[in-house]
Amino acid sequence: MNKGQRKPVLAVKDFSFSYENLNKPLFHQLSFELYERETTLLMGPSGSGKSSLALCLNGLYPEAVEGTSSGSIFFRGKNIRDFHKGEINQKIGIVFQDPDSQFCMLTVEDELAFTLENRKIPNAEMPKRISAVLQQIGMDGFQKRKIHELSGGQKQKIALASVLLLEPELLILDEPTANLDPVSRLEFIRLIRSMQRQFRITVFIIEHQINDWFEIADRVLVMGSNGRIIADGEVNTVFSENKNRLREEGVFLPQQFDDCLNHQNSKSIPTSFDKVIISIENLSFKRNEQMILKNMNLEIRHGEFVAIAGENGAGKSTLLQLMAGLLKPTNGEIYFQDVFLHHWNEKELRKRIGFVFQNPEHQFITDTVYDEITFGMKLNEESEEKIKSTANQLMQQFHLIKHRHSNPFSLSGGEKRRLSVATMLDETPDILFFDEPTSGQDAQTMEELMNIIEKLRENGTSIVFVTHDMDIVDQVDRVIVLHQQKIIYDGIPDNLWGRKEILKKARLCLPYRMKSHDEGVPVYDLVY
């Protein structure tokens, strides 16, 4: 049966949407259809309106925000406005970009039971279903854990489990794997594929990078910065016919279409890594009596570009926060420039150490983008002139000028992350800690971020960041891999790629430039 004869699950007709505080519509007269058992990827530059569209598709917007819409959205032929409240949210399940905004209960078990209650599943059946879904996402045993005490990736997995329990007819996933370790990401994609075969669900995914989804995506839609769909069709056709336009828009091209891709290695920057900036001696750290890091020794040198990798929950964010003095070791010592970290004056330390959180919202303390960027400079009593010119330069650099008066919490995911990085660069720090700075960024911003990092390094700043992106790890001077409270690898990335047993233990995979040697094998089977 061709598409002309098939009935769409979802039909969007001439749909436009505007936020009241923006002077023009975010997107205009969008028309497209989604079909049963198809997987459609929505791509587009950061801020183009992808998450806003997802929230319109399941009827949450425009009611839940100050916004207006025109046109219609039909679910199996019925206007979504004509469904009873709550009914449409079960048919169309959505996982938000920020899992924190999804949770309503304290523990994992209560959160998942809440979904089952809404589906009127009998209480007696719940433990079995909860255990089964947690097993599917590799988190059985986490039932009693408090959600706010989970790592970023663990939270994302719980948000995904919750929507899987809903068994919706249409599943909308907004950057669902951004915080997952590489193997969890591939496992999740496989799970979606098998669920789709089993339950005939339709899947709509918002993603910046298509590489992992390439094998299962039937179709790709691209939203342009002009608020219109600029490409729609089968994956190969879209990328081969629109390569230049998509590149101009800052959209990531799949590996096989990206002829500009090369293995850039930042080791070319002349740096002497002799002087130690951070030194860790016999560090141990416990949380709620659980040992997270044990007897760790580590040195970071001036100008070094270091990545920290490892599976979800391995302790990467914890290590970063300890090195930045945001957490105190249970045992052992950390020195910053040869002085005990906790002997430093707090104000002086914050000037010298920059820290970008995994969740950018944890960093925001003011009501506008401008105030956020100038906050540190005002605190340091910089001149009015310097504050203005630095703020303007940073807003230009991070494409935030048009949002200068916006509330940081109303920005798109990528814009929030760019703001959180910009606020750290009002001065050149001695060391900059980044917790997954590149996740959720479009191709253009990613490239610009890497350029900013290179410039900082030229000025001697050390960069230490946590990432699940093996292509970024491929570009650093040194990679540290954490596993079961310890460092199991510390060296150059090129040597890591040959250490299959380490990759396997830490649930890492190879960068794409190395995977491409095995052509013809589906990417999700190419973990080791």
Ligand X SMILES: Nc1ncnc2c1ncn2[C@@H]1O[C@H](COP(=O)(O)OP(=O)(O)OP(=O)(O)O)[C@@H](O)[C@H]1O
Position of tokens 């494409």? 399
Selected from 59, 153, 176, 511, the binder of ligand X by CB under 6 A is: 153
Write each residue from 201 to 240 as x if it is in contact with ligand X (CB under 6 A), else as -, in one continuous string.
----------------------------------------
Judged by beta carbon, residue 27 or residue 497, the one nearer ligand X is 27
Beta bridge partners of 310: 482
Judged by beta carbon, residue 139 or residue 300, the one nearer ligand X is 139
Does residue number 51 form part of the binding site for ligand X (CB under 6 A)? yes
Whole-number minimum distance, CB 375 to ligand X, in Å? 19
Judged by beta carbon, residue 166 or residue 506, the one nearer ligand X is 506
Amino acid occupying residue 126: M
Q: What is the distance in angstroms between the CA of the first residue and the CA of the last residue of the chain?
A: 39
Rounded-to-integer distance, Cα 293 and Cα 315, Å: 7
Using CA atoms in the order 387, 388, 392, 398, what is the torsion angle rounded to 10 degrees?
A: 30
Which secondary-structure segment (H or E) carries 164? helix 152-166
Amino acid occupying residue 118: N
Amino acid occupying residue 260: C
Judged by beta carbon, residue 196 or residue 439, the one nearer ligand X is 439
Judged by beta carbon, residue 169 or residue 469, the one nearer ligand X is 469
DSSP designation for 289: T
Helix axes of 152-166 and 108-118: crossing angle, nearest 10 degrees: 20
Q: Residues in contact with ligand X, total (CB under 6 A)?
A: 43
Rounded-to-integer distance, Cα 178 and Cα 185, Å: 8
Sole window of 87-95, 313-321, 393-401, 488-496 interacting with ligand X (rule: CB under 6 A): 313-321
Rounded-to-integer distance, Cα 121 and Cα 129, Å: 10
Does residue number 47 form part of the binding site for ligand X (CB under 6 A)? yes
Selected from 39, 40, 52, 475, the binder of ligand X by CB under 6 A is: 52
Selected from 8, 182, 313, 360, the binder of ligand X by CB under 6 A is: 313
Does residue number 18 form part of the binding site for ligand X (CB under 6 A)? no
Selected from 48, 255, 359, 439, the binder of ligand X by CB under 6 A is: 48
Write each residue from 272 to 301 as x if it is in contact with ligand X (CB under 6 A), else as -, in one continuous string.
---------------xx---x---------
Does residue number 250 form part of the binding site for ligand X (CB under 6 A)? no
Count of Cβ atoms closer than 10 Å to residue 95 Cβ:
23
Whole-number minimum distance, CB 254 to ligand X, in Å? 18
Judged by beta carbon, residue 309 or residue 377, the one nearer ligand X is 309
Rounded-to-integer distance, Cα 153 and Cα 72, Å: 35
- Residue 96 CA from chain centroid, whole number: 11
Does residue number 314 form part of the binding site for ligand X (CB under 6 A)? yes
Which secondary-structure segment (H or E) carries 302? none
Does residue number 376 form part of the binding site for ligand X (CB under 6 A)? no
Structure tokens at 377: 């400079």
Whole-number minimum distance, CB 384 to ligand X, in Å? 27
By DSSP bridging, strand 331-336 and strand 229-233 are unpaired
Does residue number 415 form part of the binding site for ligand X (CB under 6 A)? yes
Judged by beta carbon, residue 138 or residue 414, the one nearer ligand X is 414
Whole-number minimum distance, CB 435 to ligand X, in Å? 7
Does residue number 49 form part of the binding site for ligand X (CB under 6 A)? yes
Structure tokens at 27: 């997107």
**Would you call 451 exposed, middle or buried from its count of C-beta atoms within 10 A (0-12, 13-18, 19+)?**
exposed
Does residue number 317 form part of the binding site for ligand X (CB under 6 A)? yes
Judged by beta carbon, residue 149 or residue 218, the one nearer ligand X is 149
Judged by beta carbon, residue 169 or residue 174, the one nearer ligand X is 174
Beta bridge partners of 43: 222
Rounded-to-integer distance, Cα 103 and Cα 106, Å: 8
Selected from 56, 94, 150, 166, the binder of ligand X by CB under 6 A is: 150
Report DSSP letters for 14-41, one per residue. EEEEEETTSSS-SEEEEEEEE-TT-EEE
Does residue number 316 form part of the binding site for ligand X (CB under 6 A)? yes
Residues that bind ligand X (CB under 6 A): 19, 21-22, 26, 44, 46-52, 65, 97, 149-154, 179, 181, 287-288, 292, 310, 312-318, 358, 403, 406, 410-415, 440
